[in-house]
Each structure stands twice: as C-alpha cells, then as structure tokens.
Amino acid sequence: MTRIFTSDIRDDCRKDRPDPYPVHILDRVDRPTTAIHDNKIQRVDERDGGFQRAGKGEYGEKLKKEYGRFIGKHPLSGALCTMGGALGHMVDEPMKLKQAGRSPWNTSFWPPMPDTSDDIAPGTDDPKTNAWHIKETAYFLRADIVGICKLPQYAVFSHSKHKGKKVELNHKYAISIVVDQDWRTASAFNGSDWISNSMSFLAYAGSGYIACILADYIRRLGYPARSHHAMNYKVVVPPILLWSGIGEMSRMGDVVINPFLGPRYKAAVVTTDMPLEIDRPIDFGLQDFCSKCGKCAEMCPSQAISYGDKIMHNGYEKWPNDVKKCTSMRVGNPNGSGCGTCIKVCPWNKPFTPFHRTVNWFLRKFPSTRKFGIWCDDLLGYHKPNYKQKWWLDLDQVDGRFVTPKKSGYTKKR
C-alpha cells in the first residue's frame, strides 16, 4: 500500500492556493450548520472536563489512579506526551521564560522582540495578505488544514484547570491548526488498542509545536499572540473549529468532523490581534449524514454516543454524549491505551486518494447517495482493522515494567 503524505497532496492540489487540501471547493455558509444562540452560551470551566474530573477522583478511585498512567503505560504515547508537555510553558512569549530563568535551553541567541505596537513589522497591515501569509507559514510548519475566525468570547474558558484561576483573553482572532493522526495507522488499529493514545498525542504535540512557533512569530511581527494546545489551553477548541470553517458538529458530541480527514485529527489554536481576513463556516451535509449513519454510536465500546436526535445544550445544538462513559473508557481501558473507536469507524475517515475524493464529492453534494455510501462503507469493511499495516508494539506498563498484554482493544461486529 502506498502511503499518502501531506507533501503529495500539496503537489497535487495547491497550485496558487496555500491550502494542501481543496478547501476552496467546499460550500461556505454564514453560520455553522447547527443552531448556536450566541447570547445564551455560558463560558465553560476547564475543571469540568472529563479528564480533569477523572483526575480529581469524581469518577472513582480506580479512574483517578489510572489517570496518572493511562498515557505513559505505552512507551510511545508517553514519549509523545513528554514532548508535548515541554510546550506547555511556550504558549506565551518565550522571552519571559528567559527573563525568569526558567528556559530549558540556552536562549542567549534570541533577538529582542518588539515591546510596543509602534514596532509593527512592515507589510503586515492588510488582513487579506496577512491571512494568506499566516496560512502559508502554518503549512510550511507542516499543518494539514488551517482556518481563521473571530474569537467568540464564549470559546474562552471561564476558569483554568490550574488552581481555578479566572481566564481573561481578549484577542480578536483565532487561527485553527489541524494535524492528521495518520491514515495508515488509523487503518491498522481496531479503535481501542495500544496505539490509540499515540495517534492522539502525535497530533496534539504536532499541532502544539506549530501553534507555539506561529504565535512566537506573530509576536515578533509586533502583534500580541498566544498559542493554545493540549498542555495549556485558554480556549474551548470546537466552536473555533466551527467558525473557522474546519468542519461541522457530529454525532460524536462535541467532535467537529472535517470533510477530508473526518475526525482523524487534533487541533491547536493561536489567538491574536493581528488583522486577519476570516474564513466562513462550511456545510458538507454532515447533519443529514450523521442522522442517517449512527455507526459511531453502535460501535462505541462504552456506549457513550447517542442513537437519538440532537438537543440544545448550553445555548447550542448538539448530539448528546455521556462524558463519564467516554472518559472512563479512554482513561480506564484495560486492553489498550486510550480509545478512538469513533474515529476508526467513521465513514469520513478515509485516505485522500482519487477514488475517495470522488466518493467524498458525491456524499457532499447529493443527499440521496449517503445511505448507499454508508452501506458501501460497511460492505468494504473500512471499520475493520487492516492488520497488514500494523507496525507498533503492543506493550503495557505493569509495576514499572513493560509487558506484552494479553488483549488488544475491543472488537465489535457490525
């Protein structure tokens, strides 16, 4: 099997556009395809997230204990998380670390950064040009998809998970940075085995790395900027993904699906006051598709995904999901490291080949093809693992030593 690299897509799709994927062909709309009552949405406390609640023991002592090891119990995901963790203090101006004597490496060669708005770099005052340039910069840094929107204040956390500190963030714009979790690996895993967390933290660390560099670069151009990634957020990512045209809300709850990657990605964000031309939300028919599919709900090992209709929650429309069940599976999975079954089985999780591009076009454009497309997805067995592509080691850490586990994930017949 030929592996599809982002660089291959760039050569095929880019031409005079900055985007590696053909985002220019997507239908744009003024508002996201799910109802959002902007004035009714309450800001979210980061401490109320599923992982934070598990870590505090609100889901039981067993999960509290597992929370401390569920990533590091596989050596690759542990290594990736350590690298991502090193970016946790790089979200704001790195020079502050140097001044505080907290930098992990020698920064004596770093040039001084602008201190005032009078030190704006030339050629950075036009929003359209800036947006094009910032996207090109992110793609140069190996981002897969980038979008820009105005930062809605309800996307800013009310309080941080770190000591419950009140969050203040008044930047005007948000830049979404999306990184693929790797199709080849996604085709080989069963959704809940020992590589799942590594796929997540590959994209978490990658998008965080890009976001930290991009934010630092924007600050050096003379504008305030902050990166937000898995190790240090001030924002809730899904609404930013919606408004910046990355995807639509899905049956998986607060998961935003992209038409080219499906849910097989992780995202970081850069917020800034740099003047930027914004993107518009997209509509590729996902609300209709998810209402006809339900594959993620059926295959979910913890049955955390709803089979029913959408509801209004905190001022916005979504399919409900059971956060406790989902978190319990991802943190407490005894047969793997994390869980990404919904990512695995989603019909939008496909490689970017000519055949799949054609199918993608029909599914986006013609609602009558969607049920047939779901049936074909089942028939061709895309939800099943292709073990010929497996490359990783199944390992679990027990009493400080890595051992070969007896089981690898959960399998469920469709």
Q: Is the pLDDT of residue 265 over 90?
A: yes
What is the structure's pLDDT at 204?
97
Provide the whole-model pTM.
Answer: 0.92
Average pLDDT over residues 103-121: 60
- Alpha carbons 370 and 83: distance in angstroms, whole number: 40
Neighbours of 101 (CB within 10 A): 6
pLDDT in tens, 44-65: 999 999 999 999 999 999 999 9
* CB-count exposure of residue 360 (10 Å: 0-12, 13-18, 19+): buried
Domain edges within the chain:
6-403
Which of 107-121, 228-242, 320-334 shows the lowest per-residue confidence on average (mean pLDDT)? Answer: 107-121
What is the structure's pLDDT at 3?
39
- Alpha carbons 73 and 40: distance in angstroms, whole number: 41
Would you say 171 and 272 are in contact if contact means Cβ atoms under 8 Å apart? yes
- Alpha carbons 309 and 306: distance in angstroms, whole number: 8
DSSP per position, 361-381: HHHHH-GGGHHHHHHHHHHTT
pLDDT in tens, 203-222: 999 999 999 999 999 999 99
Between the alpha carbon of residue 258 and those of residues 285, 300, 350, 364, the distances in Å are: 11, 20, 11, 12
pLDDT in tens, 289-308: 999 999 999 999 999 999 99
